[in-house]
Amino acid sequence: MKAAAKILVFCVAALHIWFLVLEMFLWNHPIGRNAFGLTAEDAETMAVMAANQGLYNGFLAAGLFWGLFSEKRDIMQFFLACIVVAGVYGGMTAKASIIWIQAAPAIIAFVLVSLSYRPKKI
């Protein structure tokens, strides 16, 4: 189960790297506009906000990679919990599909990490 947890945490981190790329570098490109359903005018208006949001997604990914490479359960749980909260909030305030795209994988990863990195009884 630990391997499955690591794979899923890696996938959630990779997803947030993709969000960083979309929001920081492809926001005004057709790929970015199509991903978020924006017109060129709307994308231009929101470009600075999107870049800031992309940077935060990069920090979330960095935290997950930190947790993975250090194999620290609490670090992975913290960043996964942040992603769950952000995903639920985004799903409630922006677009419901955010819950499935962002929060659901993080919830599953959180559960797998919690179950597979439990302290060993002596």
Q: How does the average pLDDT of the chain come out, rounded?
A: 96
How confident is the model over 20-31, as a mean pLDDT? 97
Residue 61 has pLDDT above 90, yes or no: yes
pTM higher than 0.85, yes or no? yes
What's the mean pLDDT in 50-70?
Answer: 98
Mean pLDDT, to the nearest integer, of 4-29? 98
Structure confidence at residue 99 (pLDDT):
96
Confidence of residue 53 (pLDDT cuts 50, 70, 90): very high
Taking the C-alpha atoms of residue 51 and residue 59, their distance in angstroms, rounded to an integer, is: 13
CA of residue 88 relative to chain centroid, distance: 12
Residue 107 reports pLDDT greater than 80: yes
Contact 5, 112 (CB under 8 A): yes
Q: What pLDDT does 56 receive?
A: 97
pLDDT at residue 113, as a whole number: 97
Three state DSSP letters for the chain: CHHHHHHHHHHHHHHHHHHHHHHHCCCCCHHHHHHHCCCHHHHHHCHHHHHHHHHHHHHHHHHHHHHHHHCCHHHHHHHHHHHHHHHHHHHHHCCCHHHHHHHHHHHHHHHHHHHHCCCCCC
